Amino acid sequence: MIKQLNALPEVKYEGKDSKNEFSFKYYNPDEIILGKPMKDYLKFALSYWHTLCGDGTDPFGVGTIDRNYAGTTPMEQAKAKADLAFALMQKLGVEYFCFHDVDIAPEGNNLSELKANLIEITDYIKTLMDKTGIKLLWGTANCFSHPRYMNGAGTASQADVFACAATQIKNAIDATIKLGGTGYVFWGGREGYETLLNTNMALELDNMARLMHMAVDYARSKGFTGDFYIEPKPKEPTKHQYDFDVSTVIGFLRKYNLDKDFKMNIEANHATLAGHTFQHELHVARINDVFGSIDANQGDLLLGWDTDQFPTNIYDATLCMYEVIKAGGFTNGGLNFDAKVRRASYKIDDIVLAYIAGMDTFALGLRIANKLLEDGRIEDFVAKRYDSYTTGIGAEIIAGKVGFEELEKYALGLDEIEIQSGKQEGLEAIFNNVMFSV
C-alpha cells in the first residue's frame, strides 16, 4: 500500500474551481478565518483504527482492503503500519492522530505482552512524530473487542475483568502521556447491558465511576494535564449503553464528581443513533461547559447502525462548526475522522479521497458558519426573541426577585398578550441564502 500511496501527489489547496480530485477545494490550512489559520480551527485527526486497521469485513463477507503490512513479525507489521499512517498524514497535511492501544501495538498473548509491545511501538511512533511534527490528539484503550470483555469492562460482572480493564487503561494512559496527547477517551463499547434480568445496574454504574476516578488519579499523578472525554453512544454493541447521550453523561459525571476532569467527545453518528441531531449534542455540551472534542463522521439515516461514513453533509458540518465557533474553538480537542471507507472503496486512493472529502466538508462548513455569524440575522433574531427577559418583569425573573405571588399579581393585570412568531421557515431561508452565497 505504501508504494501506491507514494505514487499519489501531495494534496494541496487549489480552490473550488479545481478539477484535480487530489486537491482541496475549500480547505486552505493557513488562510485566516476568525483570527486563526483554518487548520487551527479544524485540528483534523486521523483515526488509526478505521484508516490503518479496518479491512472492510462485514457480517456477510471477508475483508476487501489489503492490510498485509510488510514485515514478518507482528511488531514489524505494526511498524510498517505506523510508517503508512505517517506517510498518509503527511500527504494530506493532517497534523493529529488518535488511537486505541491495540490499533498501534500487537495484542500478544496476554496483558504483559501487550504492555511490552505498547512500549516498543510508542518508542517507534515517537521518532516518527519528532520527524514530522505530527501530534497525538488523544489515546484510548480498546476494552471491548477481546472476549474477556463480553460482559463489559468497567461494568463487568467479575472483578478480575475490571482489573484487566484497569490495567489496559493504565498502560494506554502511559502511552498517551509519552506521546504528548492532550486527551484520553472513554467510549463504553461494552459498558451497558443486554437484559436487566441479569444486571445490577447500580453496581455497574458505581464501578464505572470508580474506574474513571482511578484513571484520573493515576494520570494526574503522572503529570497528565489534558482532558478526559466520554464519547456518548446510545447502543451498539450493547442494547443499552450507559453513556447514552450528552445529557445522560452529564448526569453521570455530576453524580460521581467527575465533571471537573471530563468533557465530551461527540460523534455525529452517535448523536443520530440517540435520536438527536449532531448540533443538538454539541449544543448541549457547549451550554454545560463540557464541549471537548469531535468524532467527525456521518451515519445513514435509512440504516439503524453506526455506519461511520466520511462526512460530506455540508448542512450538518456548518451547524457543527457554528457550535464549535460559539464554544470558542477547540482547546485540547479536535476533529477526528472516526470514519471508514465503504467496503467497495478498497484502494488507498479511496482513503485519500475520503479524507479530502471530509476535510473539505468541514472547511466549507467553517466558512459558511463564519458567514452566518457575520451576517448576524439569525443571531439577532434569537437575541430579540428573548428580549422580554432583559427589562421589566423578565429581568426580575432572571434576578430572582419575584415568586409566584408577585407573578400572579402581574399576570392578572395583563391584557391579551401578542404571542411572537417562531419564524422557523424564514430562518431556514436565511440559512440557505447565506449558505449559497459563500
Residues taking part in catalysis: 100, 103
Residues between 131 and 150 that touch ligand XLS (CB under 6 A): 140
Do strands 192-193 and 240-241 pair parallel, antiparallel, or not at all (unpaired)?
Answer: antiparallel
CB of 214 to ligand XLS, least distance (A): 19
Provide DSSP, 398-423. HTT---HHHHHHHHHT-----PPP--
Would you state the cell numbers that stand for residue 330, as one nine-digit string?
477547540
When binding is defined by CB under 6 A, the residue of 338, 358, 368, 431 that contacts ligand XLS is 338
Residue 263 lies near ligand XLS (rule: CB under 6 A): no
Quickly list H helices, 328-347.
none
Residue 187 lies near ligand XLS (rule: CB under 6 A): yes
Choice between 295 and 323, CB closer to Ni ion: 295
Would you state the cell numbers that stand for residue 65, as one nine-digit string?
482492503
Choice between 189 and 365, CB closer to ligand XLS: 189
Amino acid letter for position 106:
P
Would you state the cell numbers that stand for residue 32, as one nine-digit string?
485566516
Residue 281 lies near ligand XLS (rule: CB under 6 A): no
Cis peptide before 237 (omega within 30 of 0): yes
Would you state the cell numbers that stand for residue 58, as one nine-digit string?
462485514
List the single partner that 283 binds among ligand XLS, Ni ion, none, CB under 5 to 8 Å by kind: none
SS (H, E, C) 6-19: HCCCCCEECCCCCC
When binding is defined by CB under 6 A, the residue of 95, 191, 295, 316 that contacts ligand XLS is 295
Other Cβ atoms within 10 Å of 414 Cβ, number: 8
Choice between 185 and 314, CB closer to ligand XLS: 185
Choice between 245 and 295, CB closer to ligand XLS: 295
Residue 245 lies near ligand XLS (rule: CB under 6 A): no
When binding is defined by CB under 6 A, the residue of 25, 79, 233, 280 that contacts ligand XLS is 233
CB of 22 to ligand XLS, least distance (A): 27
List the single partner that 316 binds among ligand XLS, Ni ion, none, CB under 5 to 8 Å by kind: none
CB of 153 to ligand XLS, least distance (A): 12
CB of 258 to ligand XLS, least distance (A): 18
Choice between 245 and 267, CB closer to Ni ion: 267
Residue 219 φ then ψ, to 5°: -65, -45
Residue 231 lies near ligand XLS (rule: CB under 6 A): yes
For residue 328, CA distances in Å to 9, 26, 135, 297, 323 come to 35, 22, 21, 21, 9
Identify whether the C-beta of residue 291 lies closer than 8 Å to the C-beta of residue 285: yes
- Closest residue to ligand XLS, judged by C-beta, is 187
CB of 215 to ligand XLS, least distance (A): 14
Task: Determine whether 438 is exposed, middle or buried from the number of CB atoms within 10 Å of its CB (0-12, 13-18, 19+).
Answer: middle
Residue 101 lies near ligand XLS (rule: CB under 6 A): no
* Beta carbons within 8 Å of 89's beta carbon, 6+ residues apart: 46, 95, 97, 132, 134
Helices 278-287 and 314-326: angle between axes, nearest 10 degrees: 0
Residue 323 lies near ligand XLS (rule: CB under 6 A): no
Residue 326 forms beta bridges with which residues?
Answer: none
CB of 324 to ligand XLS, least distance (A): 18
Residues that bind Ni ion (CB under 5 A): 267, 295, 306, 338
User: For binding to ligand XLS (CB under 6 A), which residues are involved?
Assistant: 100, 140, 185, 187, 231, 233, 267, 295, 306, 338
